[in-house]
Amino acid sequence: MNAMFVSSPAAIPPLRYSQRTERRSRWLTELTELITFPTISAQPQHRKDIRACANWLARHLAEIGLHHVQVLAGMNGGHPSVYADWLQAPGKPTLLLYGHYDVQPVDPLREWRSPPFKATIVGNNLFARGASDDKGQFFIHLKAVESYLRTTGSLPLNIKVWLEGEEEINSPNLSTFLNREASRLQANAVLVSDTEMLGAGKPSIIYGLRGNLSCELEVRGPNHDLHSGRYGGAVLNPLQALSEMVAGLHDRQNRVAIPGFYRHVRNLQPSDRQEIRCCNKRDKQILTDLDLPAGWGEGGYSLFERMTIRPALTINGLASGYVGAGGKSVIPSRGMARFSFRLVPDQNPQEIAQLLRQHITATTHPAVRSRLAITGGSDPVLLPRNSPVMQAAQRAVTQTWGVSPSFTRSGGSIPFVAQLHRRLQVPIVLLGFGLPDDDIHAPNEKMSLTNFFRGIETVIRFLSEYGT
């Protein structure tokens, strides 16, 4: 690796800067501070924390030497984002660095082994909500930029940084925001580190993301809660009706049962499937990792394919009735389910929402009433793999990790990527440093410190490769 590194002389000082122990120690202290803000964008009580975190980030971006630092007000009363740039490299390309500083809720709290907003280092991992998704990952970008500016006083290309505060709620105001800010964010390429590698020492570049569509279904029955002894057997229980509707969203082949749902799903060439299969986890490994007795899903596809190139429907939450201590003999007057789709090319969230509405109307039992709300959506995206910026990323990864990155697809969704891809038609590199066992969105989320520091080296090399 050193031999390869020497071939990129401009990068030497920032790389050395990033490798000093006392510096790495300071960076972990800074990341710990960033993690302290409970920036749960879904929960209104954290508005102030989100605002405070945005201000902290703005200060930090100025401290590392970026210009035009601004906290940009959220659209429609939403959460703010943070912008900064460094545009002193005329004639060089402009790279937009994207990240999001909001995080997922921490429930169930009792399953955390350390407080979610107190970064806790155990062995080679840093545990905290946001450690991997995405505070720890976009911080990699900032530390790469810092390493350049503090050593050479400049960057090998122009940089814009945009840190979002609503990614974990599906970026509901992104479209309006881009209407206002498209020119500010205009760039020749975008770097996003909000994905994961295939495993320790197995870097990957993601070229496909699933879209999504999130929904809330309410079923209402009698006009008030009833005593289940008195009325049981004569009243359709809203919870039972809800369970039946939820169960009816899949057919016996484990496929989504909504008529027309698969109409526009693009079938992959055998060669593409072969590529996906060879470099990704086998079914058995996935089941072992999750301690699952058996797999599940659409026939004819591996588990990894079901997770990435095939669409899916997931129930995210069910609630109603009395589930507190002891029991309660009640027929609740209503029940609620939250669920979300993951969509693949060429499914369209609006069209799927329409099909879902028809399906819910058709399957609502006449003895209850239902109400469906669409709470968010984003397009699936496939990114071209042959742009110069993609090649620069490949070289940077190979130099740093000693292996070339796998090109693969992710089952997740990053609404910003889908929208930016559609709106600005700019190449986007999804180069993530998370690991499959980072438990993002779950208790005990963590980030590998190896990946954190090696990520910084990778991004330093990437800036060099793309800028020169």
Of 106, 112, 102, residue with least CA distance to 134 = 102
Q: Quick check: 442 binds its own copies (CB under 8 A)?
A: yes
Question: Which one, of 375, 376, 372, 374, lies nearest residue 220 by Cα?
Answer: 372
371 binds its own copies (CB under 8 A): no
**Which among 409, 379, 377 has a CA at the least distance from the CA of 309?**
409
Q: Is 320 in the site for its own copies (CB under 8 A)?
A: yes
Q: Segment contacting its own copies (CB under 8 A): 156-164, 352-360, 386-394, 410-418?
A: 410-418
Nearer to its own copies, 47 or 150 (CB): 47
At which residue do the structure tokens 């289940």 appear? 228
Which residues between 241 and 260 bind its own copies (CB under 8 A)? 242-244, 246-250
Residues 191-220 that bind its own copies (CB under 8 A): 210, 212, 214
Report strand pairing: 330-331 vs 226-227.
Answer: antiparallel
Contacts of 45 (CB under 8 A, 6+ apart): none
**Angle, to 10 degrees, between the axis of helix 12-19 and the axis of helix 135-151?**
120
Q: How far is the CB of 96 from its own copies (least distance, A)?
A: 23
Q: What is the sign, positive or negative, of the torsion defined by CA atoms of 157, 163, 168, 172? A: negative
Q: Give the residue among 60, 54, 47, 38 at the shortest CA–CA distance from 104.
A: 38
Q: Evaluate whether 344 touches 328 at the Cβ level (below 8 Å).
A: no
Q: How far is CA 27 from the centre of its chain?
A: 23
Among residues 11 and 249, whose Cβ is nearest to its own copies?
249
Q: How far is the CB of 184 from its own copies (least distance, A)?
A: 27
Question: Mask: binding to its own copies, 117-156, rule CB under 8 A, as x and -?
Answer: ----------------------------------------
Contact 338, 214 (CB under 8 A): yes
Choose between 92 and 338: whose C-beta lies nearer to its own copies: 338
Site string for its own copies, 421-440 (x = CB under 8 A): ------------------xx
Q: Which is nearer to its own copies, 82 or 309 (CB)?
A: 309
Minimum gap (Å) between residue 324 Cβ and its own copies: 6
In this chain, which of 258, 286, 417, 456 binds its own copies, going by CB under 8 A? 286
* Residue whose CB is less far from its own copies, 65 or 297: 297
Per rule CB under 8 A, is residue 3 in the interface with its own copies?
no
Find all residues with CB under 8 Å of 24, minimum gap 6, and list them: 18, 453
Tokens (6 digits) for 285: 């490994």
Half-sphere exposure of 219 (CA within 13 A, CB side): 28
Q: Could you say which of 253, 329, 354, 468 contacts its own copies (CB under 8 A)? A: 329
- Map tokens 């907003």 to a residue: 117
1 or 42: CB nearest its own copies: 42
Q: In DSSP terms, which residues pair with 158 in a beta bridge?
A: 94
Write the binding mask 158 to 197 for its own copies: x where contact by CB under 8 A, - elsewhere. ----------xxx---------------------------
Tell me the closest approach of the beta carbon of residue 283 to its own copies, in angstroms.
8
* Helix boundaries (H) for 105-205: 135-151, 174-185
- Of residues 72 through 111, those in contact with its own copies by CB under 8 A are 104-105, 107-108, 111
CB of 95 to its own copies, least distance (A): 26
**Stretch touching its own copies by CB under 8 A, among 49-57, 140-148, 239-247, 460-468:** 239-247
Among 338, 351, 387, 424, binds its own copies (CB under 8 A): 338
- Selected binder of its own copies within 4, 73, 122, 292 (CB under 8 A): 292
CB of residue 193 to its own copies, shortest distance in Å: 16
331 binding its own copies? (CB under 8 A): yes
**Which residue in the set 14, 38, 165, 321 belongs to the binding site for its own copies (CB under 8 A)?**
321
- By CB under 8 A, the residues from 339 to 358 that bind its own copies are 340, 342
CB 376, min distance to its own copies, A = 7
By CB under 8 A, is residue 282 in contact with its own copies?
A: no
Q: 381-390 burial, b for 16+ CB within 10 Å, e for fewer?
A: bebeeebebb
Instruction: Give the residue carrying structure tokens 């609630």.
Output: 319
CA distance 318 to 244: 13
Q: Is 345 helix (H, G, I), strand (E, B) or coil?
A: coil
Say if residues 341 and 212 touch (Cβ distance below 8 Å). Answer: yes
Closest CA to 356 of 340, 336, 345: 340
